[in-house]
Amino acid sequence: MKKLIQIYTGGVSGRNISTQQIAQKLGVLENSRIDGIIVGWSLEHQIYRWLRDYTKERGIELYLWFQVLSEFKGLGNFKAVESLHGKPLQSAVFDGDEEFSFYCPSHPDTCRALLNIYETYFSEIAFDGVFLDRIRFPSPGSDSNALFSCTCPYCMEKLAKTGIGTADIEEARRQIQEDMKKGAVFNIREYKDGKYSFYSGQLEAYLSARTDLITGIVKTLSEYFREKGLKVGLDLFAPFLAVFVGQDYKELSGVADFIKPMLYRHTYTPAGMQYELEGMACGRAGDMKQIVGMEDGGLTDFMEKELRTAQMLAVCDVYAGMEVHTAKGLPLVETRAVREGVELTEKMKCVGRVASWNILETSGENLLAFMEEGKRTI
Ligand SMILES: [Zn+2]
């Protein structure tokens, strides 16, 4: 099984991380076989150059961790996503320098600005691939209005081609609100095989059409990078969350070399499975857990279900994303928990697994547990 690790060097302004610090952490893994390193997204060239030499010597692939629809606001002409009636969306900063304000995927300037950022700041480094992150709309876990973005003229024009207009989105929103009052969750009828069915046909059609907007920009970027001989990996929300942020596993995996579903069981932070569910369903979280089959507690069984779903939906390799640390101040991810995740990925015969999301913040014990082959006890 392939084992990849992620190194977060900070947002565009960096975290003043030295190559010695990285070398020291990688030293823990000297006797382990690493297949890939995903690193980003500060603009500090010396880190990438040092890692390129390090990985070349050892036959390790090096991926640029590249943010698509957030984080680079100051570097390009990006338009923020618009929600119904111009309601502003909450934008959050997380962990000091991660920035969760999102821009429109359909505006022609978005793609142009992203390619310009890549060419200006990163193209000189001989990466083996790019790992595209934040390929989504803002999460309804942080703001319920996020589900009704982006409604800018560029997005509405694309949605109109599938017969969706503003009135349909308004109706979908009204139905969800009404349902929540009655005790239903997001109008969901059923969640099966990674797909939701909704009582409201309009909501189902809208959410499905909306995924095309995200697929569109990922397709364009993927073609661009592949033409340059780079591999493409994608960071995705767990399958049960995907449709709510505009991600379609089948379509996206069709334009990628691998996908990494973020099957985070412990971290109560963005992309954490429980964090996102409780954020979006609020008072109805218990009902939604029942619908998707999430048990309270360790979430290892739920990870297994979601991993199986990802494997079933994807048409490319699936590397399970498992967290080996969490944000400061939250309960630590224990080594026992890392081991459980490792055993699960081995049992499920995953093509790969990814130590997320920053090995610089985890313990040597957790890293070594991540690299070990599972004992197949579960
Ligand atoms: Zn838009």
pLDDT digits (tens, 9 = 90+) for 272-320: 999 999 999 988 999 999 999 998 777 999 999 999 999 999 999 999 9
Instruction: Find residue 3's DSSP bridge partners.
Output: 353
Supply the CATH classification number for the domain 2-143+212-371. Answer: 3.20.20.80
CA of 155 to the centre of ligand 1 (A): 4
CA of 310 to the centre of ligand 1 (A): 28
pLDDT band at 375 (very low <50, low <70, confident <90, very high): low
CA of 253 to the centre of ligand 1 (A): 23
CA of 129 to the centre of ligand 1 (A): 28
CA of 177 to the centre of ligand 1 (A): 23
Is a pLDDT exceeding 50 seen at residue 322? Answer: yes
Per-residue pLDDT, 378: 47
CA of 207 to the centre of ligand 1 (A): 15
CA of 376 to the centre of ligand 1 (A): 46
Least confident piece of the model among 91-95, 169-173, 261-265, 346-350: 91-95
CA of 212 to the centre of ligand 1 (A): 12
CA of 22 to the centre of ligand 1 (A): 39
CA of 213 to the centre of ligand 1 (A): 9
pLDDT above 70 as % of the chain: 97
Per-residue pLDDT, 93: 65
pLDDT band at 376 (very low <50, low <70, confident <90, very high): low
**Which residues, in sequence order, are CB contacts of 285 under 8 Å at separation 6+?**
277, 278
Helix ranges restricted to H, the chain = 19-27, 45-58, 108-117, 153-160, 166-182, 201-227, 239-242, 249-253, 273-281, 285-292, 300-313, 335-347, 364-371
CA distance 163 to 81: 21
Identify the residue whose tokens are 């603009």: 43
Least confident piece of the model among 140-144, 215-219, 334-338: 140-144
CA of 197 to the centre of ligand 1 (A): 25
CA of 185 to the centre of ligand 1 (A): 26
**Which residues, in sequence order, are CB contacts of 340 under 8 Å at separation 6+?**
298, 300, 378
**Which residues, in sequence order, are CB contacts of 288 under 8 Å at separation 6+?**
185, 186, 188, 277, 280, 281, 294
Residue 141's φ and ψ, nearest 5 degrees, are: -65, -25
CA of 135 to the centre of ligand 1 (A): 14
**Which residues, in sequence order, are CB contacts of 266 under 8 Å at separation 6+?**
272, 299, 323, 326, 331, 333, 337
CA neighbor of 144 nearest in space, from 108, 180, 105, 119: 180
CA of 100 to the centre of ligand 1 (A): 16
Instruction: Find residue 322's DSSP bridge partners.
Output: 355
Least confident piece of the model among 97-101, 209-213, 348-352: 97-101
Mean pLDDT, all residues of the chain? 94
**Which residues, in sequence order, are CB contacts of 315 under 8 Å at separation 6+?**
250, 253, 254
Q: Which tens digit of pLDDT belongs to each residue from 145-175?
A: 999 999 999 999 999 999 999 999 999 999 9
CA of 81 to the centre of ligand 1 (A): 6
CA of 68 to the centre of ligand 1 (A): 14
pTM, 2 dp: 0.96
Per-residue pLDDT, 183: 77
CA of 112 to the centre of ligand 1 (A): 15
**Which residues, in sequence order, are CB contacts of 136 under 8 Å at separation 6+?**
69, 102, 214, 237, 245, 246, 247
CA of 105 to the centre of ligand 1 (A): 6
Q: What is the mean pLDDT of residues 233-252?
A: 98
CA of 274 to the centre of ligand 1 (A): 28
CA of 202 to the centre of ligand 1 (A): 20
Task: Write out the two tokens for 51.
Answer: 């890692």
CA of 151 to the centre of ligand 1 (A): 6
CA of 309 to the centre of ligand 1 (A): 29
Q: Which tens digit of pLDDT belongs to each residue from 339-354?
A: 999 999 999 999 999 9
303: Cα within 13 Å, side-chain hemisphere: 28
Instruction: Find residue 62's DSSP bridge partners.
Output: 37
Least confident piece of the model among 221-230, 231-240, 266-275: 266-275
CA of 26 to the centre of ligand 1 (A): 41
pLDDT band at 92 (very low <50, low <70, confident <90, very high): low
pLDDT above 90 as % of the chain: 85
Is a pLDDT exceeding 90 seen at residue 30? Answer: yes
Residue 78 · residue 103 · CB < 8 Å: yes
Pairing mode of beta strands 317-323, 352-356: parallel
CA of 189 to the centre of ligand 1 (A): 28
